[in-house]
Copies of this chain bind each other. A is one copy, B any other.
Amino acid sequence: MPPTEAKPVAAVIGVGPGLGASLARRFAQMYAVAINARTPDFLRTLANDIRERSGVAFEIQADISKPEQVRNAFHVIRTELGEPEVLLFNAAAGPFGSVNEVTAEQFENCMRVNALGAFLCAKECAPAMIARGSGVILFTGATAGVKAGARSIAFGPGNFAKRGLAQSLARDLGPKGIHVAWINIDGGIDLPHRQRPSVNKEDLLSPDAIAETYWHLAHQHRSAWTMELELRPFKEKF
């Protein structure tokens, strides 16, 4: 695997046709990217797309809310590509609804994807990053992690937990040379091939534009790191 060996590894967890795909394509310009999703179809399309542009992409189908599957996924990534130098945790799930509507099962599932999954992926990547004295872990968050609305009875706590996790990791791992940050995507993402006649494109975030800021964060000089920031369309109210 000569081309792979030459490249550092970035793991992109929770890849769909929106932000996940943009992150994978952007980081594939320099990294061998391991791309993860629960279902295989889009991963295949994206991996082919990246390879056509001479990138290295490796598909990892796994449900990151399951400890066993996370363990296997990172074992395979390590074996096939090497230890990740960059972890982009982009998975998210919620039901939306109020306390009367959301069930205990839905609530727990939301916590598993947003919080447990983030914890497990960080736990897989941290030891090698600590040993190397460098690394990057970025979490995709949402405004619900700062301000939980009436119908975010599960999505709110899940995103709050993910933000708390990022903070704890940053305080632990920062002095060890690992850059941890949490990005609040404050608005809807403009998904390709998805027509939303009721929504003006100007009110949406371009996933490629978001990916540029992830790229910037991932390569900030360690004397000047950002731990938390938001990204929102210029017209978005906040």
Contact = CB atoms under 8 A, between A and B. Distances in A.
Interface of A: 67, 98-100, 102, 104, 107-108, 111-112, 115-116, 119-120, 122-123, 126-127, 130, 144-145, 147-154, 156-165, 167-169, 171-175, 177, 179, 190, 202, 204-206, 208-210, 212-213, 216, 220-238
Contact of A111 (B111, B126, B235): B111
Contacts of A172: 98-99, 150-151, 153
Given A115-B157, A122-B99, A220 B226 contact: no
24 contacts: A98-B172, A100-B123, A108-B112, A108-B116, A111-B116, A111-B161, A119-B153, A144-B164, A153-B165, A153-B168, A160-B160, A160-B165, A161-B164, A175-B235, A209-B221, A220-B231, A222-B234, A223-B233, A223-B234, A225-B233, A226-B229, A227-B232, A227-B238, A228-B229
Contacts of A236: 174
Contacts of A230: 226-228
B224 A205 contact: yes
Nearest to A231: B224
Contact of A225 (B120, B127, B232): B232
B150 A168 contact: yes
B168 A164 contact: no
